[in-house]
Structure 1
Amino acid sequence: MQRTFALRRHKAIGCDPMISDFTMRWPALFDVTEINAEFKRITTIPLQSKFLSQLDLYSANLLKMFESTTGQKGKQLKALTNNMDTDDIDAGRDLLIKGLCLYLNEDPGDLVQEFIDVDEMIVEGAIEKTTMGIFTLKNTASEDDVRIVLDGVTVIQDLETVAFASAMLLGLIYSLNLSYPKKLSCTFEVLQKIIMELDGGVLSYKAQSLKTKLHQCE
């Protein structure tokens, strides 16, 4: 994969290929280990460790911001954080990702689609209609399955958490030179520029406001 890196970057940036082309030509690119490696080749920054550690670093301040929010959005955030188990780090991270979407006036359902005890055929139908997103399948008869979907295709599955899947999705966006979905542009901007501290010199109004409030909560 290291030897073919330049060729992949040329194809991703210059040829605007279909996801199916990449899955067939470089299937290893859709492995968690390789996504981490590819992201570091592009940015020189470790993806998984930095994403999760930064999310933990900002967690207390994000919760303060959520709790101080008023109006309908405040009610939605409080309903979300009321379900947070402070002893479960993974569940807390997942709720922070969803709360971040809400706080930025974006729909968490556009990022994460949840299915509980649903027939696989229904899930596959929803996947085919999805350009980019995370699917969580909860089944009382088996362990939860978290998947990443691109262009109507499941490219990774059997992930453990939404936060981890969000990190891997960000890595794939960089690796494949994909655009952020318009409905989630602010959320991904914050994940990129504030959480990962990449290209953070210029921020949108929403992202700058969030960054300012994060530091005010310190």
Structure 2
Amino acid sequence: MYAFTAYPEKEHFEAVAKALVQTHPCLKESGSSSGWDGWKNSVKFKMGNYRTKMRQLGRVDVTVNSGKRGRYTTDGEPPNKNIKKARKGEINFLPEYPEGMDDHNLEGARQVMISEMMKRKPNGPLIKKEMDVTFALRRKEVVIDKPAISQIIHRWPALFTESQVCYEFNRVVGKNLRENFFDALDHLSPSLMDLFRKKKGLTGQLLAELLHQTKTTEPTDIRCLCLRGLAVILGDDPSAFFKTSSDATDKDSYSQTSVGILCIGQESSQLNPSRVGIILEGTVVMDELANLPQAFYVLFGLIYALHLDYPKCMKNTFHFVQQVMFNLGKSELAPKIQTLKNQLSV
């Protein structure tokens, strides 16, 4: 279990205990309704004890969450200060370096990646190989050092390509970003559109305007409608997240935006603009994305890759994507998200 994640959820313990009893029927508990409740608790306690042993051995992925660090620090930091823990379902939140590798070796691999990215046509397999090797170093920088986005772009330029965002998301949470996102969105689209049509009041008016702008039933247009309508129905403020500009270099329209999506072009206010960019810390980090759904899933992947907080204006929407569409993180949902999930009968 520890090889998959140092902090399993309740469902993980239940799945392991159930599999244990199914594989070895002689271990089934006669006094338990499920036959494996006691084993679930036993595995849970054993996992906690194993984390303690790993912490004593100095494993970074668990020592970073130790509440007793304060008594050992030279600068006298109090316990539980700056504790970092996987909040969004990360299975590789702060992994150990590959066996036999250290900072010097990994820095060399990073330099190889940098040199390759300077070429007009970088070698994709080589980039992926070096990014795989340097994953632990990158996570250490992102999670512990928390550098500015501009510094990350300089040190890890490959991370700001669509393919590497997808690979990085898979490294962090073990899921296919693009496939899982579109599968879940397409599955929810019919129910969401029915719900949009039924809504009344101010929310209903806003959703009616979005429905009116959807001229075709093309998958991309339907996805755009659902993503924009999702924010409205969850009570978020999409106007502070979706920015428009005729030119990506014109910073006046988005310089104060910490996390957002930029719709670029003369007709950038339309539901599905032809060119879309991603804004992080007031800077457009990617600006050649073909449509809004693509930009949304790439941004979601970047938030995981760069250990960013969700933008407050779209917090409910991103939590819905995380917890309902990707089934990541804790199972308890906020009231608004739980209500919407019930209405969609997910």
Q: Would you say same fold, with TM above 0.5?
A: yes
Structure 2 CA distance, aligned partners of 1:38 and 1:202?
26
User: Would you say 1:47 and 2:177 are equivalent positions?
Assistant: yes
The offset of 1:108, in angstroms, is 1.8
Residue 28 of structure 1 corresponds to 158
Alpha-carbon distance between aligned partners in 2 of 1:197 and 1:120, rounded to the nearest angstrom: 34
What RMSD over aligned residues (CA atoms) do the two structures have, in Å?
A: 1.7
Q: Note the C-alpha offset of 1:109.
A: 1.6
2-side partners of 1:14 and 1:150: how far apart? 19
Distance 1:172 1:119, change over 3 A: closer
Whichever residue aligns with residue 80 of structure 1, its letter is L
Matched AA of 1:149:
I
1:185 has 2:312 as partner: no
Give the one of 56, 63, 82 matched to 2:212.
82
The answer for the alignment partner of 2:143 in structure 1 is 13
| Other-structure match for 1:135 | 262
Structure number with bigger Rg: 2
Aligned to 2:132, the other structure's residue is in SS state coil
Matches within 5 A, 1:122-201: 123-139=250-266, 144-201=274-331
Q: Which amino acid aligns with 1:11?
A: E
CA distance in 2, matches of 1:126, 1:8: 31
Tell me, yes or no, if structure 1 residue 60 matches structure 2 residue 176: no
Higher RCO (CA-CA < 8 Å; seq separation 6+): 1
Q: Work out the CA distance in 2 between the residues paired with 1:124 and 1:72.
A: 32
TM-score (norm 2): 0.58
Do the aligned residues in 2 keep the contact of 1:97 with 1:163 (CA within 8 Å)? yes
Output the CA distance in 1 between the equivalents of 2:215 and 2:330: 31
Partner of 1:73: 203
Return the structure number with greater helix share: 1
**Aligned AA (1:190):** F
Ranges in structure 2 where 5+ consecutive residues have no aligned partner? 1-130, 268-272
**Separation in 1, partners of 2:280, 2:263:** 15
The answer as to whether partners of 2:247 and 2:264 remain within 8 angstroms in 1 is no
CA distance in 2, matches of 1:119, 1:19: 21
* C-alpha distance in structure 1 between counterparts of 2:293 and 2:241, whole Å: 11
Contact preservation (8 Å) 1:52, 1:164: no
Q: Which moved more, 1:198-207 or 1:56-65?
A: 198-207
Match of 2:342 in 1: 212
Cα distance between partner residues in 1 of 2:161 and 2:137: 18
Paired residue type of 1:127: Y
Asked if structure 2 preserves the Cα contact closer than 8 Å seen for 1:36 and 1:46, the reply is yes
1:104-123 superposed matches below 5 A: 104-115=234-245, 118=246, 123=250
Say if 2:234 and 2:316, in contact at 8 Å, map to a contact too: yes
Shift of 1:167: 0.3
Q: Which residue of 2 aligns with 1:97?
A: 227
TM-score by length of 1: 0.91
**Amino acid paired to 2:156:** W
CA apart distance, 1:111: 2.2
Deviation of 1:200 (Å): 4.8
Structure 2 counterpart of 1:124, one-letter code = K
Secondary structure of the equivalent of 1:167? Answer: helix
